Amino acid sequence: MTRVWGTTVLLLMVMSVAGCGKKQAPIARPMPPPFPGAISTPSSRPPAPPEPVAEPTIVPPEPVRDDAIASASLDDLNRNSPLKPVFFDYNSSDLSPDAQRALDENAATIKKYPSWAVTIEGHCDERGTAEYNLALGERRSVAARAYLVSLGIPADRVRTVSYGKEFPFDPGHDEAAFRKNRRAHFVITAK
């Protein structure tokens, strides 16, 4: 048994000596910073920080001067609205040249008062079913809104609603009354 122990100890010693003989890879250690006053070479200089990015300057809208429109209440504004209604041909949601001119003027007014929110109501005359006129009124209000958005009015400032034939501007039952009732009406809902 002593022989077995002796051989085992001898074998362990040989293995440990063989293991110590292997060269290990050198460990990369960071270089200490140069002492003050040392001459640095171009390769040892840290890279320059990046140039700052210029942020775009956002210019707030010009404040609206005090005028009768700016100081009026919402009820007064809608009673004597500076926004003109847009009228449509029978059974149509196409914008005529007159309608486009009215929308151009409305867009200029809405741009002048950037805090306003506007609702465009689509209306129809009494002919046709309630369902048909609701859909037609919707097409009319959406057409007016799309035109305003194309002129630069932010879409989130303009909402649409359709009343169909429910709220006629003129209660008459002739063509003159029908012409007045086929419209997109503008309501200032916030200022």
Q: What is the CATH number of the domain that holds 114?
A: 3.30.1330.60
Q: What is the pLDDT of residues 28-87, one digit of tens each?
A: 666 666 555 555 555 566 677 767 767 667 766 665 555 778 888 889 989 999 999 999
Evaluate whether residue 174 is within a structural domain.
yes
**Which DSSP category does 92 fall into?**
-
Question: What are residue 186's phi and psi, to 5 degrees?
Answer: -105, 130
pLDDT of residue 67: 73
Question: In terms of residue numbers, what domain contains 181?
Answer: 68-190
DSSP-based three-state secondary structure for 122 = strand
- The total number of structural domains that make up the chain: 1
pLDDT of residue 72: 87
Evaluate whether residue 52 is within a structural domain.
no
What six digits make up the tokens of 163?
């009343």
Question: In this model, does residue 185 exceed pLDDT 70?
Answer: yes
C-alpha 83, offset from chain centre: 25
Q: Does the pTM exceed 0.75?
A: no
